[in-house]
Amino acid sequence: MVEPFEQPIFVTRPLLPDLQIVTAKLQEIWAAQWLSNGGMQHQKLECALRDRLRVPNLTLFNNGTTALMAAVQTLGLAGEVITTPFTFVATTHALALNGLTPVFCDIDPSTMNIDPDQIESLITPKTSAIMPVHVYGMPCDVEQINEIARKHGLKVIYDAAHAFDSEVGGAGIGAYGDITMYSFHATKTFHTVEGGALAFGDAALKPRLERLKNFGIRDEERVDAVGFNGKLNELQAAVGLAVLDCLDGELTKRRALVDVYRAAFDGVPGLTLPPLSEHSRTTPSYFVIRIEKELFGSTRDDVYRHLQGYNVFARKYFYPLCSDFAPYRHLPSAAPQRLPVASRIARQVLALPLYGALSAREVERICELVLATPLRFSRGTERSLPAVFVSL
């Protein structure tokens, strides 16, 4: 019998560095009397992240959404951009807010990323770019996407909001595409409270991006682009430096918890676990299972509600699909019959709690609750718990 958790267990919790380390950095900021507009902490973080992410060029932003918008603007995209409906809505908004038409492409049933085999059929004379997302930190098929883009003369902007630590073929994920966006929101594995960055190969983009995020200002007397305020401030950059120092420990803990989940759910009929790949590395941003009622005996929503009854707040990332939201559902590419895989998977996904401060024992309890759901919500689907729980 599993007792409800005394404190709520959320899908994630921010990585909080030792407060004394943050305070010491705040003292440096106070001494410098420099709070924003590319100060010392900002410069240090930009260099540290460029090294850590192994990318040639990087520029910081105040969040991932403004970073994506700047990427779209600096590449001068127009017309249509092929993207995935299975993402957080900021991906789609970054296109629409810039007057672009998102064209939704169905997803791969295994990786849940944009299905590269379907991209070419969506290309029209109006297509200017592809915007794939490394969903849950799992790399897209970057080689095939790059090949399609090269063949058709399209730009590629990757949304790597979840993919800070992801790699393909030993290279950091930011090495692919024209521009890669990272989000450093508090809920991300690496964060600056709110923040983001763009990584890119072409060094000529850097001054343009820096102008865009600083109101388009060239110098004290010239403004030569319609820019906005996308700057990361010194306090947040300082938090980022402190978070970066403890990130490896967090990643190790999260990967160990992923193993606990995998061991508990391995072979359970109706539960699909995130795929494993020998050629790429996934950031442990989320642990997302897929639940098929016909085999598992309960729906995703049954499990979601059951967990809530025990003070566990899993999330249905990414349901509904972006193509189902009011601003986008009128688009021809948003029709559910054109997105059969994404439509099915969006009803099955459940992101379970994953963060370093959770203990293995807590994850085991969450697994037990997931597996016990049919006993509570459905009749005739009872099954015994795996051996790992016999001692609980």
- The contact set with ligand T4K (CB under 6 A) reads 10-14, 63-65, 87-88, 90-91, 133, 159, 161-162, 183, 185-187, 196, 313, 317
Sign of the torsion angle spanned by Cα atoms 132, 136, 139, 141: negative
| Residue nearest to ligand T4K according to CB distances in the complex | 64
Minimum CB distance to ligand T4K, residue 199 (Å): 15
Q: How far apart are CA 297 and CA 380, in angstroms?
A: 8
Minimum CB distance to ligand T4K, residue 9 (Å): 10
Three-state SS string over the chain comes to CCCCCCCCEECCCCCCCCHHHHHHHHHHHHHHCCCCCCCHHHHHHHHHHHHHHCCCEEEEECCHHHHHHHHHHHCCCCCEEEECCCCCCHHHHHHHCCCCEEEECCECCCCCCECHHHHHHHCCCCEEEEECECHHHCCCCHHHHHHHHHHHCCEEEEECCCCCCCEECCEEHHHCCCEEEEECCCCCCCCCCCCEEEEECCCCHHHHHHHHCECCEEECCEECCCCCECCCCHHHHHHHHHHHHHHHHHHHHHHHHHHHHHHHHCCCCCEECCCCCCCEECCCCCEEEEECHHHHCCCHHHHHHHHHCCCEECECCCCCCHHHCCCCCCCHHHCHHHCHHHHHHHCCEEEECCCCCCCHHHHHHHHHHHHHHHHHHCCCCCCCCCHHHCCC
Minimum CB distance to ligand T4K, residue 357 (Å): 10
Q: How far apart are CA 56 and CA 64, in angstroms?
A: 19
Minimum CB distance to ligand T4K, residue 39 (Å): 21
Smaller CB distance to ligand T4K: residue 100 or 268? 100
Smaller CB distance to ligand T4K: residue 268 or 289? 289
Minimum CB distance to ligand T4K, residue 378 (Å): 27
Q: Which of 234, 233, 171 is nearest to 201 (CA)?
A: 171
**Cβ atoms within 10 A of the Cβ of 226, count?**
9
Tokens of 99: 């007057």
Minimum CB distance to ligand T4K, residue 152 (Å): 24
Smaller CB distance to ligand T4K: residue 73 or 374? 73
Minimum CB distance to ligand T4K, residue 312 (Å): 11
Smaller CB distance to ligand T4K: residue 317 or 328? 317
Minimum CB distance to ligand T4K, residue 351 (Å): 9
Smaller CB distance to ligand T4K: residue 192 or 348? 192
Q: Phi and psi for 260 in degrees, rounded to 5? A: -65, -45
CA angle in degrees (0–180, nearest 5) for 107-161-17: 145
Smaller CB distance to ligand T4K: residue 10 or 215? 10
Smaller CB distance to ligand T4K: residue 127 or 283? 283
Smaller CB distance to ligand T4K: residue 103 or 163? 163
Smaller CB distance to ligand T4K: residue 261 or 296? 261
Minimum CB distance to ligand T4K, residue 192 (Å): 9
Minimum CB distance to ligand T4K, residue 85 (Å): 12
Smaller CB distance to ligand T4K: residue 191 or 290? 191
